[in-house]
Chain A
Amino acid sequence: MDHFPNYWGMPPQESFDRYNIFQDKTKNNAISDPTTNTKQPIVTGTSVIAFKYKDASFGSLARYREVERLYPVGEYTVLASSGDFSDFQYVKHTLDKIMTKEYYTNDGHILGTPHIYEYLSQVMYHRRSKLNPLWNAFVVGGYHNGEGYLGYVNLLGTTFQASTITTGIGMYMASPLLRKAVEGHEDTLTEAEAVDLVEQVMRVLYYRDSQSINRYQRAKITAQGVEISPLLSAPTDWSIGKDLRGYQ
Chain B
Amino acid sequence: MNRNQYDNDISTWSPQGRIYQVEYALEAVKQGSAAVGLRSKTHAILLALKRSSGELASYQNKLIRIDDHLGIAIAGLTSDARVLSNFMRTEAMKSKIMYNRPLPVYRIVSAIGDKSQVNTQNYGRRPYGVGLLVIGVDETGPHLYETSPSGNFLEYYAISIGGRSQSAKTYLEHNYESFADADVDELIVHGLRALHATLQQDKELNTLNCSIGIVGQGQKFEMIQDVDLQRYLDMLGPQGTGDQAAASQGEAPMDTE
Query: Is A119 located at the chain interface by the 8 A CB criterion?
Result: yes
Give the CA-CA distance A112 to B101 in the complex, in Å: 9
- Contact partners of A118 in chain B: CB under 8 A: 98-101
Q: Is the interface of A mostly helix, strand, loop or mixed?
A: helix
Most A C-beta atoms less than 10 A away, residue of B99, B106, B138 = B99
For B138, what are the chain A residues with a Cβ–Cβ distance below 8 Å? 109
Size of the B side of the interface (Cβ < 8 Å), in residues, is 11
Q: Which chain B residue has the least Cβ–Cβ distance from A106?
A: B106
Chain A residue contacts of B101, Cβ below 8 A: 111-112, 114-115, 118
Q: Is B140 an interface residue (CB 8 A)?
A: yes
The reply to whether B107 and A108 form a contact with Cβ atoms under 8 Å apart is no
Residues of B within 8 A of A117 (CB): 100
Main secondary structure of the interface of B (DSSP, over half): mixed
- Contact pick for A108, options B97, B98, B100, B140, CB 8 Å: B140
> Which of the four size classes fits the interface of chain A?
10 to 19
Q: Which residues of chain B (93-107) have a CB below 8 Å from chain A?
A: 97-101, 104, 106-107
Cα distance A130–B101 when bound, in Å?
Answer: 25
Q: Which residues on the B side are within 8 Å of A15 (C-beta)? A: none
Contact B98–A119 (Cβ < 8 Å):
yes
Instruction: Tell me the complex Cα distance, A141–B100, Å.
Output: 16
B-side contacts of A115, CB under 8 Å: 99-101
Could you say which residues of chain A place their CB within 8 Å of the CB of B104?
Answer: 107, 109
Residues on B with beta carbons closer than 8 Å to the beta carbon of A114: 100-101
Alpha-carbon distance between A123 and B30 when the two chains are bound, in angstroms: 45
**Nearest opposing residue in chain A for B97, CB measure:** A122
The minimal Cβ–Cβ distance linking B73 to chain A, given in whole angstroms, is: 22
Chain B CB within 10 A, most for which of A105, A109, A112: A109
A-B contact pairs, 7 of them (CB 8 A): A108-B106, A109-B104, A109-B107, A114-B100, A114-B101, A117-B100, A118-B99
Closest 7 CB pairs of A and B: A118-B100, A107-B106, A115-B99, A109-B104, A108-B140, A115-B101, A118-B99
